[in-house]
Structure 1
């Protein structure tokens, strides 16, 4: 029965190089699907490297042991480096290159030296131990760099869990090797001691975790593509400010989390004349500069700039008292009035009218919108280039 199970495990082992290669190709193709995410390229290179390394060892190509050890070692080191860089690249990070290449060179030298003394327990132990150790270090560094995802959504948590199990399986295998360096000879050559078949099982667990990791990465890439696509729908293509869909998202998801908030609605004075006199490209430039000025002057992390359409904007701010809100609004109005728009069109000057107020988040937003819109209209009726916080009856 034990021999039968071993035969099955060996048969399954032969399928891993091809399966891992196919997953590498799939990750590479997904790179083009999700908008050229760099981490997918790193991971695809890692999987191809691992597939080649396993294939060289199983097929004994080349038959010269030192050369086989060297070539397969290069493949496994490629896998170790790129799998770690791919993991951290998912979070927009990169591992320290000096540390990485120092570890790679050290591991490669040790593996090459072990290949010069084939068919000895110690050389086999060093050869395998060097690869497992470097992979363990790289995965540990990568996991530490993406630890934030442990507190992410369910898919991100499972993804981190698989990497953690990966690290644990490597530690387990290193413990087996350290306990009995002659294990590799007994297991792969003499095949006598059933106790060492647990090492075989650990090897299968490792490869299965690799495949699960690749599937989860594909799902994560697709999920992020969907998320990014949905987020892009919330933003104005010209300015990068939120659009009306972004406003609706704020009303549905962010507003219920607030108690009170401040609001500014502003409109560019006589913007139609800017378009008619200078042309629409200049008008677009004015709008982009205006959004930049708003973001620069309202530099709170909790602020949201929303383009309602054309030349009309809304700025959602944290709750300020009326005096503070008026001061901030006046700074913004003056910054726009004093900005040198002549850099895009000679003689061009731009001013804005504003309605401002502080509101209770439990108030129906349609009522809030009506009130702030009336304040803006009052500012325009009173001669423009001014701020209205209270409507005089």
Structure 2
């Protein structure tokens, strides 16, 4: 059982054997329990309550089917121990029957409770996802963005706010249709989720074709690397057959001591609109530096010298 647990910890959840091992663990639990009962006074073993855990374990992974199968298996194994032990006095027989009754009570009613609670938990997860996640891109939504921005500014955390906008998105919708526009937004959501994970950041769909990032406070050279990575992923993405590529403009501002969320958001917006007004497909920094993807590699190389 220890070897199995170590293997599960080291095995990625997507592995084809992961689900098999987690369910097969119930079989090992059952065998171990029968062995322990046989070694510790059989029917009267003080370790019998472990049987309830086996039933609940089976219920978690196999639902009602697991509860019934585990109850049947425990009844058969426990009955075998009772028959082999051959102690049919009143006390032993009473304990045997009582334990079997409790196995089935826990197996049947316990499975109903577990299934109901799992269903309730699943519904809560769905409601939470709907409340904080944008349905199309899979990114956090506007509401969650506003909450996180308020929390981080009130806590006086040092962080970076990035506001972004797709260039010429109205023309894309007019030319190719809103279905293509939605496909572009969905692809951008996947790009930004991966990017946020790599930089320990949070990515949001602010609304329409606007996006936002909350980044940890990093120096400007690292910020340039972030945008180099972002624009590199944008340039390599084939968004749809009709519209192969899109460009974006961004503004980036840092939190300051005591700054209000609305002021920080307004400042980042100003930088974004400045980037769009000055030719798009660029990033405006609060230091007045302007990032262009075509020049980024040369600038990063120069900063390392």
- Sort the TM-score into its range (normalised by shorter chain): 0.5 to 0.7
Structure having the higher helix fraction is 1
How far 1:284 moved relative to its partner? 1.6
Aligned to 1:33: none
Distance change in 2, residues 1:371/1:252 (3 Å)? closer
How far 1:291 moved relative to its partner? 2.4
Aligned to 2:86: 182
Find 2:54's aligned residue among 125, 132, 139.
139
For 1:272 and 1:350, the matched residues in 2 are separated by 12
How far 1:253 moved relative to its partner? 6.6
Matches within 5 A, 1:81-230: 94-96=19-21, 139=54, 142=57, 177=81, 181-183=85-87, 186=88, 193-194=90-91, 196-210=93-107, 211-230=109-128
How far 1:206 moved relative to its partner? 2.7
Distance change in 2, residues 1:218/1:353 (3 Å)? same
Aligned to 2:3: none
Aligned to 1:390: 286
Kept in 2, the 8 Å contact 1:282–1:344? The answer is: no
Matched, 1:294 2:192: yes
Find 2:276's aligned residue among 352, 364, 380.
380
How far 1:142 moved relative to its partner? 4.3
Find 2:265's aligned residue among 362, 369, 372.
369
User: After superposition, what is the alpha-carbon deviation per residue over 1:310-362, rounded to whole angstroms, capped at 9, x for unaligned?
Assistant: 11000222332222112211331344245445x5216x542111011332596
Aligned to 2:180: 282
Aligned to 2:166: 268
Unaligned runs of 5+ in 1: 1-91, 108-125, 147-162, 187-191
User: After superposition, what is the alpha-carbon deviation per residue over 1:116-139, rounded to whole angstroms, capped at 9, x for unaligned?
Assistant: xxxxxxxxxx9x9xxx99x95993
Kept in 1, the 8 Å contact 2:253–2:268? The answer is: yes
Larger relative contact order (CA 8 Å, sep ≥ 6): 2
How far 1:255 moved relative to its partner? 7.2
How far 1:268 moved relative to its partner? 0.7
Find 1:352's aligned residue among 228, 248, 252.
248
For 1:204 and 1:255, the matched residues in 2 are separated by 58
For 2:113 and 2:175, the matched residues in 1 are separated by 57
For 1:200 and 1:137, the matched residues in 2 are separated by 15
Distance change in 2, residues 1:98/1:269 (3 Å)? closer
Distance change in 2, residues 1:351/1:240 (3 Å)? same
How far 1:100 moved relative to its partner? 7.6
Distance change in 2, residues 1:97/1:299 (3 Å)? closer
Distance change in 2, residues 1:295/1:193 (3 Å)? closer
Unaligned runs of 5+ in 2: 1-15, 32-41, 62-66, 289-305
For 1:255 and 1:179, the matched residues in 2 are separated by 70
| Matched positions, count | 245
TM-score by length of 2: 0.62
Question: Which protein shows a greater Rg?
Answer: 1
Matched, 1:243 2:158: no
TM-score by length of 1: 0.50
Kept in 2, the 8 Å contact 1:268–1:351? The answer is: yes
How far 1:387 moved relative to its partner? 0.6
For 1:271 and 1:197, the matched residues in 2 are separated by 77
Specify the SS of the correspondent of 1:314: strand
Kept in 2, the 8 Å contact 1:262–1:319? The answer is: yes
Matches within 5 A, 1:8-27: none
For 1:254 and 1:209, the matched residues in 2 are separated by 46
Distance change in 2, residues 1:179/1:236 (3 Å)? same
Distance change in 2, residues 1:223/1:323 (3 Å)? same
Kept in 1, the 8 Å contact 2:196–2:203? The answer is: no
Distance change in 2, residues 1:361/1:261 (3 Å)? farther
